[in-house]
Structure 1
């Protein structure tokens, strides 16, 4: 039975609590603004589905988060992450994941972006093979953004999505040929505070996954390939137990919907340092549902600092010096390719964060050449596809992969990378090389504050200084500043060295806020959240104990609980 006729209501039989304006099942309370469009996705059946997932998995989610905290304590006490001897048999035995579905065999170029209506249309029309619609790093998870995103995705899957740009008097709609749609829900650690289940905030990823799956499976067959999908990207994992939870969620969803096991497929982002030692184990847990791994390299850099926050001998250089030529980054990429191809699935490359520079052709060509070199490195290493943050980069990425791969949809069979079989713990943990500078501290501060200001006002993907910044790159800025301040590192600049200190950082924040005001203009600066963002960013960079995620504290500033029955904006 497809979800077009999915009438599952769960065990609750009590009268619906409609004080919020929504028709909700027993134990569910919606504190977000009522809207008739939102009510189309926040149906009683969909909410019951989400609630049942929450009730079944909340104890396991809590345990997984406790395990993360235990691991952090070990690393802070001096331990290093590494390959687990207890799962050696998984790494050394011969097994493969389920066959890659024909519908997504070719993923040579993928585009990513927030679940914003115009972005969804442009990304699906971009010429990329896949569009990853993002509820996570590229989205500020306000109630409005999340629910409008669900409505827009439903329309996209149905093929009815349009957008009228009143300023340009232009109507956007889908082309005949569009990219395959993947959806990235939030990570396990993020709550959804606008939906309470049994009095507790729902788990954000179960809301994102549950609403999307419930409403879209039946239509999905028409657009994505008979018998396969929906497709997902899974973020922020640190251990295979978290992959096992996702596998159980998928199996539960397939059983509820009456569809065959293995219909749902997912790619896992390897974007935490502990997860690089768990790649075989992650694929093994998801082997019936996996279509590969992805090098989430920006979050990976963030995770390197977070993992080694108590290790003063592992200080990061300026963020732009930590590229894929660093030994620990290259080892990570090579081992991911080898692991994926050995197990029969895609090895996806990292994000090209550049954006077109329309008013400077020479600078634009320099930026595109950097993209070409990066994508050439990826495809020659054996990656099956890559990511881009802007539609303007798609032709360049397509050209590189087509020139190298011809018409082959992937390199799973042709590039095995057996040379990467000898990569060790030491290769994956090698200290990055480079210098730390005052300009690096200033840039981190400038980017972090501007990104956070945009996030607080509803925008999670922000063009800054010719790069597309999201939560991952903002996290690098935050934790790098924190690390440098904690250990009082010497910063090169203006021909002299200066120690990072709280006094120095205070002056840098004031000066960079003044620069931001000059760059964006006084009116925008005053009407934005720049000063509030500066306070939050400063507090995060100078805290005695590093917060796990910037967005956890910032999230409290965008949660808006409306009076029950209210439809006010």
Structure 2
């Protein structure tokens, strides 16, 4: 009888030692990740090819519509699986990377949920990938603490309820070059999901919780179907009951906005809800309609509020779809970072956050995101005022909402126009964020806002769009490559003066400047700036 070929192995090619990595990268955990890779990488590759085909179709037609072949799903009378108790009340969720300090602060924050982020808020250095998993394992074992360089200590509060953890793996487009199977890099999504699920699923279930996930950058119901099959495979492989996984999908691409029902349907035994992701949504509009002319030119990113008609159409459709299917609708990010030195600025910002969360609660959302613990009580007050003692408001079906394809695509309804200040802000934020990302920081406070990769994506995408559409700013200046290079050079010199020569030289400012100009000015639009940036990451 011929010998059975051994299963493929996941090979670690680490750039250097990571403390306690052996606790995460056990032979059994690596074998599980390798099995996920072998089972699903070909389908992942096919779905990325389908993305390119769909983008080419949008370029030809200049439009999108609801899929005729899935009309029976949209018309059908079905609901997602009942929500587990730990995810029933999600009125405030805090987001952030999985570094040790953030892990402790997020769990202690008073938020109902912590989005533990391996995606946009995390620069995927190998150390961040491995230690992020270790920090979660330590937190669940209640053996986590942290002492800052100045001596301040952090630890979990022993007698208080901690936030429920929902992990966000990387999107399907990103690979993990430090973990390979048969010479191929494993998709980062399968690395993040696989290591977390392997080490924590059973432990969480024993505590009345579960392996819960946020799914990023989803572009179609077929991608949701792939995730559902990953969940089923993983649960069977480890003897975890089917339906233990729960996933909330970020509707942060314009294509996914046309497939909300279908995405929930594909995940219906594992679905927990949908989330409105603002910056990535705008980035996706620019990316997909970048050659569709002036009708899709966005104004300054901060001028596109959630009250713009096309954004209202998107969020109201999300609430209606979720509640009709028994799923949670989770609102967008409040990214303000309070200043200890400027109480007046804080008061103004808190009022804007309060108005934003009041609007979401009134619209029917069941919860929302914040980026800083000080915003948890602000958001909670808005939702407490509407929900009271109820855990959610899924009974509000919003049946009066009727959203057409034209409304979702009516970008001109934003009203505002691009400005010189907006161009400068896009350059400033782009350089500052990319420089921090190249140093391994994915969540960065810039101008009192917590910025992540989605911010950099919309910044560089808007520059690209304005240049390629010869946009005229409020000053009468036309945006061309030379104008962008001039602003970028000015900002680089301003940073040199602000930081001092030695601190400037110690950073990666020139690389960040050069990469921003490349992804903003090249004729060929790269789908994600994190792809070329990853090649520069240590």
User: When the two structures are superposed, what TM-score results if normalisation uses the length of structure 1?
Assistant: 0.91
1:116 to 99, 105, 108: 99
- Give, in angstroms, the shift of residue 252 of structure 1: 0.5
Residues 438, 491 of structure 1: 8 Å contact kept: yes
Residues 10, 31 of structure 2: 8 Å contact kept: no
- Give, in angstroms, the shift of residue 34 of structure 1: 3.4
CA distance in 1, matches of 2:366, 2:149: 39
- Structure 1's unaligned 5+ residue stretches are 1-10, 15-24, 560-569
CA distance in 1, matches of 2:337, 2:230: 36
The answer for the alignment partner of 1:216 in structure 2 is 200
Equivalent position SS for 1:40: helix
User: Is 2:254 the counterpart of 1:273?
Assistant: yes
- Give, in angstroms, the shift of residue 42 of structure 1: 0.4
User: When the two structures are superposed, what TM-score results if normalisation uses the length of structure 2?
Assistant: 0.96
The answer for the alignment partner of 1:430 in structure 2 is 410
| Aligned 1:518-529 pairs, distance under 5 A | 518-529=497-508
The answer for the alignment partner of 2:127 in structure 1 is 144
Equivalent position SS for 1:128: coil
Q: Structure 1 501/167 Cα, relative in aligned 2: closer, same or farther at 3 Å? A: same
Cα shift readout 1:483-517 (whole Å, capped 9, x = no counterpart) = 00111110113xxx011111111111111112223
User: Is 2:290 the counterpart of 1:289?
Assistant: no
CA distance in 2, matches of 1:63, 1:157: 36
Equivalent position SS for 2:442: coil
Equivalent position SS for 1:77: helix
Q: Structure 1 499/167 Cα, relative in aligned 2: closer, same or farther at 3 Å? A: same
1:207 to 191, 199, 203: 191
Residues 96, 371 of structure 2: 8 Å contact kept: yes
Residues 445, 477 of structure 1: 8 Å contact kept: yes
User: Is 2:234 the counterpart of 1:234?
Assistant: no
- Give, in angstroms, the shift of residue 403 of structure 1: 1.5
1:362 to 331, 335, 344: 344
The answer for the alignment partner of 1:450 in structure 2 is 432
CA distance in 2, matches of 1:299, 1:12: 43
CA distance in 2, matches of 1:527, 1:156: 34
Q: Structure 1 325/26 Cα, relative in aligned 2: closer, same or farther at 3 Å? A: closer
Moved more, 401-410 or 369-378: 401-410
Residues 9, 30 of structure 2: 8 Å contact kept: no
The answer for the alignment partner of 1:556 in structure 2 is 535
- Give, in angstroms, the shift of residue 28 of structure 1: 2.8
Cα shift readout 1:258-317 (whole Å, capped 9, x = no counterpart) = 121100101000000000000000000000000000001111011111111111121111
Q: Structure 1 178/222 Cα, relative in aligned 2: closer, same or farther at 3 Å? A: farther
Equivalent position SS for 1:163: strand
CA distance in 2, matches of 1:31, 1:72: 35
Moved more, 130-139 or 296-305: 296-305
CA distance in 1, matches of 2:102, 2:502: 27
- Structure 2's unaligned 5+ residue stretches are none
- Give, in angstroms, the shift of residue 13 of structure 1: 4.9
Cα shift readout 1:1-39 (whole Å, capped 9, x = no counterpart) = xxxxxxxxxx8759xxxxxxxxxx736343442345011
CA distance in 2, matches of 1:171, 1:511: 40
CA distance in 2, matches of 1:408, 1:546: 46
The answer for the alignment partner of 1:516 in structure 2 is 495
Residues 446, 516 of structure 1: 8 Å contact kept: no
Q: CA RMSD in A?
A: 1.4
Equivalent position SS for 1:418: coil
- Give, in angstroms, the shift of residue 523 of structure 1: 3.0
CA distance in 1, matches of 2:469, 2:113: 43
- Give, in angstroms, the shift of residue 428 of structure 1: 0.5
